[in-house]
Structure 1
């Protein structure tokens, strides 16, 4: 199985094969519009604009599993992203990213790249860890996605080469993207 075997739903409910992205570097991220990490949309859009002509695609997957922070419809999510952050990268249909109802794509991604821990230097790490321990202790178990804005980096050959937690600096994500783009033939 590879990343290119997955079919996902667009925000309009149409099927989209990830094989359509073959040969491109991908950042796949679960998103939410009412989260402390929501401003990362701005950084993701800047990353996309900087590298899209070199072969980067960012694929956003809204999810309402984390404290109900993505309550809107697919159309509302799309509008929010465009109006508030100027997002032009692809936002897909809302769906689960952890647990028994997780989209198969996210089951695959977490099996390929496990949880490495939150960045202790990030200002939200202590608060996020405390909230998870108190309210969602099962979220801390295993390699499942812990919160919104977890990012997976996929190289041009379809290998899931890195996982970045929401507390990881965007500069680290960018360094990974740049390395994958330079590795192109």
Structure 2
């Protein structure tokens, strides 16, 4: 009985303090199609998005997977593997006006840093670049929950190290079109 009362009290306290603080954290799903010099399958990922009180940026830390990923070794032999990666993004929203009631839209600019490696251990990739983002968000439960969808365009300068870099070149300029849907809990 004490656990139930404690949980109820914590939920009430959390709900009551939702308007006092401005920190939002929550899960996000990503789908990142890419336009690259050669065919690359889209990346799928899970992320944690965050917005903190004193910083006017929206952050996301993402774990991505590209599978199957195929590259050609310098001797011409194709290799099929998977590519795993971590990405950090930070976006500054210039606008977030209300459309109707709880429904808002936003747009902004930001940056991304990505590191990937192939599962076979033969390749490492480092990418960075700017991004432009636009989307819509809905606030529920007195501003405690935020549901959002967003679309971005993200050109990157990519450095490839290992077998793929030797065969295909050290530099690449992939352009990602990340689509995200997420839920943030505001505390």
Which is richer in helix?
A: 1
Q: Normalising by structure 2, what TM-score?
A: 0.24
Which is richer in strand?
A: 2
Larger Rg: 2
